[in-house]
Structure 1
Amino acid sequence: MNIHEYQAKELLVRYGVNIPKGFVVTNTKQIDSIPFETGKTYIAKVQIHAGARNKAGGIQKIYNKQEAISFCKKFLGKRIITPQTPKEGKIVSAVYIEEALLGNQELYVSIFADRNNQCNTILVSKEGGVDIQETFKVNKSNTVCIDPLLGFSKFYAKKAACAFNFEKDKANNFVILISKLFMLYKDIDAELLEINPLLDTGSDFFALDAKIVIDDNALFRQEKILSYTDILQQEPLEFQASQNNLNYVRLDGNIAMVVNGAGLAMACLDTIEDFGGKCANFLDIKGSATKESIFKALEIIYQDTRVKVIFVNIIGGIVRCDIVAQALVDFCDAYSFNLPIVARLEGANKKEAIDILNAYKKSNISMAKNLREGIEKTILLAGEKN
């Protein structure tokens, strides 16, 4: 789960991390209550769940209330397209206005779940700011892997500080900062906590920007984080799926896919691509799917006007094949759904499922004997190879 910059900074403050003084604006009328100081520079930032905002004009220096109003009117409630947003862009939910700070150097610090090394890793660089990826490409960074058996200790923070050659007092401040960041990272079940840039003012460190991503699987125990949910930032169909315990990701093709099991779904998606098709979605109904959740999955697909054919690939185990077949029939009847559906059903109650589909009067549902036949038939019905 992603959260906004201003929400991330709210969490940072709770853990004693310095941030510039800032204000959240969701309505231009709120600007009247912001005490702008004459001669002081401010930074206005659009709040979306995507990066590269500056490349679309979404981060600007402002100097007074009139410029703040103009910036907010330009972006609030409208879509902004950056190199990291979908093609249609993201709706600007809020604008964050904060005081501009000057310092000696902009640094980079992050803590993330390093799946390659199977540990949490601290990543630091002397060169923070825009296009940090280019910095990493030329190896201007330092990584510190935290042993999962030992857990975090100040030793790891001191090791990260070695990348900067700080004087003693500043090094101590940096170690304290890393310790605070890791405590926050752990407490909120984060997958990523990124400060870019981290400003070295000479006397202390300030987080000028912050990005936090939380593990979705841990949200059941993160009530505060759940309150940060911004529906406007989520793709509508993906949000509907999340509310119904379905794993759904919208893709760019025209073949809808309904599969039980994330691994099977990935394999199915890759195979369709290899055979020349293109999927409209990744949709895992999970092994414990019910007739109701399968019906809901089909309703979500029904709302996607790009879809030309649905491929249902089920290995019956916990969810029985006859339950899937009955859900398909009920859905087609309820919505007078006439688009072709290709079903490959294997496992528990396969015979009963075949009987249900054979007895169905409409001809838009067809069975496939195996995965290859199902995919070839699906791509043919989609009408084109991509």
Structure 2
Amino acid sequence: MNIHEYQAKKLLKHYSINIPKGFIVTDAKQLDNIFFEKDKSYIAKVQIHAGARNKAGGVQKISTKQEAIGFCQKFLGRRIVTPQTPKGGKVVSAIYIEEALNGNQELYLSIFADKNKQCNIALASKEGGIDIQDAFKKSTSNIVCIDPLLGFAQFYAKKALCAFNFKKEQANKFITLLSNLFRLYKDIDAELVEINPLIDTGYDFFALDAKIVIDDNALFRQDEVLSYRDILQEEPLEYQASQNNLNYVKLDGNIAMVVNGAGLAMACLDTIEDYGGKCANFLDIKGSATKESIIKALEIIYQDSRVKVVFVNIIGGIVRCDIVANALLDFCDTYNFSLPIVARLEGANKNEAIDMLSTFKKGNIAIVKTLKEGIEKVILSAGEKL
């Protein structure tokens, strides 16, 4: 789960990490009661779950209340498109305004889980700010692998210090900063905690921008963080799926998939793409699927107007094939669903399921024996060429 920058900074502050003074605006009228100091600069930033906001004018230096009002009126309630948003952009429901700070240098600091190395990574670089990806191509970053069994220790922070040339006092403050950041990372079950840029003022460090991503699987024990969820920033169909224990990701194609198991879903998606098709979604109904959750998955697909055909690819085990067939029939009857459905069913109660689907009166459900046959059929049904 993503959270907004201002929410991330609230968490940083709680863990004794310096941030510039700021406030959140959800209505331009709120600025009537805000005092702006003369001869002082501020930074106004749109709050969306995407980066590269500056490239779309969503980050602006301001000096007066009128400039702040103008910025808020321009963006609040409207969509902004950046290189990292979907084509339709993201709705701006809040703007964060904070004091502008200057420093000796802009740094980069993050902690994230590396599944390949099976450890937590602390990544430090003296090349912070925008276009950080380009900076990582240089030899200015330091990667520190933190053993999850050992936990954080000061020698990890000292190793990260090798990326910089701090004097003793600043070096000690950096060690404390990294220690606090890792404590936050662990306490909130984060997948990523990133500060970019982290500015060095010469006497201390300040987080000018922050990004935090929480592990969805740990949200059940993160009540405070869960309250930060902004469903306006999420794809509506993906949000519906998450509320029904479904793994769903919206894609750009027109072939919908209903598959049990993430590995099978990935293999199915890749094969469809290899054969020239385009998937409308990644949808894993999971091994614990019920008739009700399968119908909910089909309802989510039903809401996607781009879909031309549905491919149901089930390996029956815990989820029996007849349960899937029952869900398909009830869904088609309830919604008068007439788009072609191609079903490949293998495993528990396969024959019963095939008998049920074969006698379906609407005739829009085709049963196939192999994955290859199914994929070729859905691609042709979608109007694509093999």
User: Which TM-score tier does this pair reach, normalised by the shorter chain?
Assistant: over 0.9
Contact 2:142 2:162 in 1 (8 A): no
Per the alignment, residue 108 of structure 2 pairs with 108
The normalised TM-score by structure 2 is 0.99
Per the alignment, residue 58 of structure 2 pairs with 58
- Quote the offset at 1:236 in angstroms: 0.7
Per the alignment, residue 375 of structure 1 pairs with 375
- How far apart in 2 are the matches of 1:157 and 1:33? 43
Per the alignment, residue 300 of structure 1 pairs with 300
Per the alignment, residue 75 of structure 2 pairs with 75
- SS of 2:318 mapped into structure 1: coil
Per the alignment, residue 213 of structure 1 pairs with 213
Q: Deviations over 1:2-52 (max 9, x none)?
A: 000000000001000100000000111111222210110000000000000
Residues 1:268 and 2:268 are matched in the alignment = yes
Contact 2:140 2:163 in 1 (8 A): no
| C-alpha distance 287-195 of structure 1, shift in aligned 2 (>3 A) | same
Contact 1:342 1:365 in 2 (8 A): yes
- How far apart in 2 are the matches of 1:51 and 1:385? 37
Equivalence map 1:75-224=2 (5 Å) = 75-224=75-224
Equivalenced residue count is 386
Per the alignment, residue 333 of structure 1 pairs with 333
Q: Deviations over 1:48-77 (max 9, x none)?
A: 000000000000000111100000000011
- How far apart in 2 are the matches of 1:33 and 1:367? 66
- Quote the offset at 1:295 in angstroms: 0.4
Bigger shift: residues 303-312 or 153-162: 153-162
Which 5+ residue runs of structure 2 have no aligned equivalent? none
- Quote the offset at 1:384 in angstroms: 1.2
- How far apart in 2 are the matches of 1:45 and 1:18? 18
Kindly report the root-mean-square deviation, in angstroms, between the aligned alpha carbons of the 2 structures. 0.8
- How far apart in 2 are the matches of 1:12 and 1:367? 54
- Quote the offset at 1:102 in angstroms: 1.2
- SS of 1:137 mapped into structure 2: coil
Residues 1:227 and 2:227 are matched in the alignment = yes
- Quote the offset at 1:139 in angstroms: 2.8
- How far apart in 2 are the matches of 1:222 and 1:252? 32
- How far apart in 1 are the matches of 2:139 and 2:334? 58
- How far apart in 1 are the matches of 2:384 and 2:47? 39
Residues 1:290 and 2:290 are matched in the alignment = yes
- Quote the offset at 1:151 in angstroms: 1.4
Contact 1:23 1:34 in 2 (8 A): no
Q: Deviations over 1:188-211 (max 9, x none)?
A: 000100000001011100000000
- How far apart in 1 are the matches of 2:211 and 2:268? 33
The percent identity for this pair of structures is: 78
- Quote the offset at 1:147 in angstroms: 1.6
Which letter maps to 1:41?
S
Runs of 4+, deviation exceeding 6 Å:
none
Contact 1:79 1:91 in 2 (8 A): yes
Per the alignment, residue 2 of structure 1 pairs with 2
- Quote the offset at 1:267 in angstroms: 0.4
Per the alignment, residue 245 of structure 2 pairs with 245
- Quote the offset at 1:162 in angstroms: 2.2
| C-alpha distance 76-203 of structure 1, shift in aligned 2 (>3 A) | same
- SS of 2:163 mapped into structure 1: coil
- How far apart in 2 are the matches of 1:86 and 1:179? 35
- How far apart in 2 are the matches of 1:102 and 1:129? 13
- How far apart in 2 are the matches of 1:239 and 1:370? 32
Contact 2:12 2:18 in 1 (8 A): yes
- Quote the offset at 1:369 in angstroms: 0.5
Q: Deviations over 1:153-204 (max 9, x none)?
A: 1110111112212111110000000000000000000010000000101110
Contact 1:197 1:209 in 2 (8 A): yes
Which letter maps to 2:281?
N
- SS of 1:160 mapped into structure 2: helix
